[in-house]
Copies of this chain bind each other. A is one copy, B any other.
Amino acid sequence: MDEFEIDVLAEPELEDPVLVEGLPGVGHVGKLAAEHILEELDSEPVCRVYSKHFPPQVSVEDGKAELAHAEFHAVETETGPDVVTLTGDHQAQDNAGHYGLTDTFLDVADDLGVERVFALGGVPTGELIEEYDVLGAATTEAFVEELEEAGVEFREDEPAGGIVGVSGLLLGLSERRDLAAACLMGETSGYLVDPKSAQAVLEILQDVIGFEVDFSSLEDRAEEMEEVVRKIQEMEQGNATPSEEDLRYIG
């Protein structure tokens, strides 16, 4: 196996598609958001990326093993432009690997004719929150203004420490390729997998890109999560213990 391997699964005709990345990160916000798009809209897998920089691991489903990979899907948004999602269960496991993997993702995006990139993620607040703001960063001033108009928050000194990992590199390496890219980060505690944060990010994204998804299933998951949070708080006060299903929400 080479350092990076690209398996082309389909070659659909796409028109100025937009890339939406949702790999694992803080609160799994980006992952939840991108996977929600795939659950709600029609899509077909177009490409898989394997790499020696992914963990040496297979996942097992119905007894069948699958080597660690990231996957691109072409999504029919009906009302909006073509969208290509980038999802997966892992990020690169080493420093230089992050750079090489993101370069490979952008090569695939380039082959697919992608003109704009959206990296989705979370920014940890360190505590449970009531209001779910979405913070942003982008490669050009014009893009920053467009996002501000859509309700994205740009605050001085946030995110503290910049943006690390594939979301950050998608911005940095897109900029070096003269490709417009933005990162939308939903505020989240950082303690839980956060459906409310994912929904906040998707609400902005659908306005900016121009598509629509139904949020019912995310809202259901949000209610379940709030139930879990309440139980944990009660548990800490000695009143109840979380079930295994509850624990599904913890990171």
Contacts and interface: CB of A to CB of B under 8 A. Distances in A.
Contacts of A148: 63
Contacts of A154: 62-63
Nearest to A100: B52
Contact of A65 (B1, B53, B147, B163): B163
Interface in A179-200: 181, 183
Interface of A: 1, 3, 5, 50, 52-53, 55-60, 62-68, 92-100, 102-103, 136-141, 144, 147-148, 154, 158-159, 161-166, 168-169, 171-173, 175-176, 181, 183
A53 B95 contact: yes
Contacts of A169: 56-58, 67
B64 A137 contact: yes
Nearest to A165: B56
Instruction: Report, nearest first, the 5 A-B pairs whose CB atoms are least far apart.
Output: A67-B172, A56-B98, A63-B144, A65-B171, A63-B154
A102 B166 CA distance: 25
B159 A60 contact: yes
A178 to B, nearest CB: 13
A181 B65 CA distance: 9
Contacts of A3: 96
A100 B172 CA distance: 21
B96 A57 contact: no
With a 10 A CB-CB cut-off, give which of A57, A147, A165 has the most chain B CB atoms. Answer: A57
Contact of A1 (B52, B57, B159, B176): B176
A66 to B, nearest CB: 7
Contacts of A96: 3, 52-53, 94, 97
A101 B5 CA distance: 17
Given A139-B65, A172-B66, A183-B65, A99 B52 contact: yes
Nearest to A177: B1
Nearest to A163: B58
B60 A137 contact: yes
Contacts of A162: 57-60, 65
A137 B98 CA distance: 29
A214 B5 CA distance: 44
B95 A64 contact: no
Contacts of A94: 95-96
